Amino acid sequence: MRLVATIEDINPATGQTIGAVPDMDDAQVRQAVQRARAAFRVWGRLEFPERREQLLRVRDYMLDRTDAVVARICEETGKTRFEAMFTEVFVTADLIDFYARHGEKALRPQRVNTGPLRLTKRPYKVYEPLGVVAVISPWNYPFALTMSPLVSALFAGNTVVLKPSEVTPLVGVLVGELFSKGCDHRDIVQVVTGGGGAGNALVGGGVQKVCFTGSVNTGKKVMAQAAETLTPVTLELGGKDPMIVLDDADVERAANGAVWGAFSNEGQTCISIERAYVEADVYDEFVDKVVAKTRTIRQSNDGDIGSMTFPPQLETVERHLADAVEKGARIVVGGRRRADLGDMWFEPTVLVDVNHSMDVMREETFGPVLPIMKVSDETEALRLANDSPYGLSSSVWTTSDDRGRRVAGQLEAGNVCVNDCLVDYGISGLPFGGVKNSGLGRTHGIEGLTDMCRVKAVVEDRFGLKRELHWFPVSAGRYGLLERIIKLLYRRGTGNKLRALLRG
């Protein structure tokens, strides 16, 4: 009898064991890929309206069970019920709605306007599903960051094998149940559980695409393994997202945004505000307001923020704080564990007197820590904000639209908010993703849907002529004729007018 290894699942807020899942081996992962591939033979041939109907059924099934979904998320992550409902269930429902409304048009064959060849040719592009997509999802938003690539893949006609984080595997199991019970096509989502071994087996298991959300180091390993089979990847990795507060900002709004943007989900968000650069004229006012607002945050299961989720991440928070204090930073509020609440509870923390020699300003902290740095002007703020290997999200705060757009255009990030934060992920029509070490590819938006497809170029001949100008044999005068045609079509002046005439 073969013994099956298991992974114990613990509620971080209480420390209690809430379940266990199998640590699947390579053979079990391959079997899941095979089941998904068999399901693809049917799912991939369905017309978009049929797939849309099935996915809307799954959404309705989810909405009928929101309390159970939220409870599962909370018990595995330690976040509050409101946070789970808003940042996980709401954004998932909205994304499904967006693709249901816009996906069919985005994926239908599209005519392509080319040059003069269009007179005798009919060129267009078609979007075809890839096959089986592997989704390896993280523990910080185990529902939303699973459903985002998963529903994008399904709307595009692919099937999915999901490997949830071993820290929050029961949410992944729940996702599988939503599709197996809410959809007529039961096998379009397969769930495999386990640690790194299961993830390795999945990446190397013959899938047609890998979507990974997690750390930079693990993302590089996923990409290297996928490169062996030339399997395309979408990587959503770390962030060290800067906030720039300019001297004409609405300081009250900026302070409110900073507190929510830094401490939501205990700072365990890839687009958390992880460092703030504030112009000198408003620095003191901003710090005072942020500190006062931070002191009012209620930490409890039903409060403003819950516990942290992953013990090694809490250790990173403490290590970054110790390094910063040793190098001259001051903790003005927070900085300690909440032993009265449990082992994984940590106070929202504000740091001042920080600089870029400190880990807290260079490395991803991924916890409830907000370091605030005074800068002399906009130029220094931009230089420091861009002085990072990361480039996921960012924000700029100013009452001037022109100034906001100018600074946004100079920030090296895949996403920028002006006078807001974190909201960029929640707008389903916007593509989401990073630059530099923050990842490759995009989720959400039309780009997130077409990224799950193989784009095929098709050219049809319109008239059926016996021979084309450029086919063999090439007669002696053909070169001169071609030269005259090229100059007539592409010389500035007459060429522009002629091409416009040919385009109609």
DSSP-assigned letter for residue 425 = H
Query: What residue type is assigned to position 155 of the chain?
Result: F
Query: What residue type is assigned to position 458 of the chain?
Result: V
- From the candidates 75, 166, 236, 266, give the one annotated as an active-site residue: 236
- From the candidates 74, 211, 270, 421, give the one annotated as an active-site residue: 270
Both tokens assigned to 496: 């522009």
236 flagged as catalytic: yes
Other CB atoms within 10 A of residue 494 CB:
12
Q: Are strands 132-136 and 209-213 parallel, antiparallel or unpaired?
A: parallel
Of 135, 134, 199, 189, whose CA–CA distance to 166 is shortest?
199
Contact 165/138 with Cβ under 8 angstroms? yes
Q: Where are the alpha helices (DSSP H) in 393-493?
A: 401-410, 423-426, 445-450, 478-490
Contact 20/6 with Cβ under 8 angstroms? yes
Both tokens assigned to 203: 């990446």
270 flagged as catalytic: yes
Residue partners of 190: CB distance under 8 A and separation at least 6: 32, 33, 35, 36, 159, 160, 161, 162, 176
Both tokens assigned to 113: 């306007």
Contact 416/395 with Cβ under 8 angstroms? yes
CA angle 182, 184, 168 (to 5 degrees): 40
Phi, psi of 337 (to 5 degrees): -75, 150
> Which residues are catalytic, by number?
236, 270
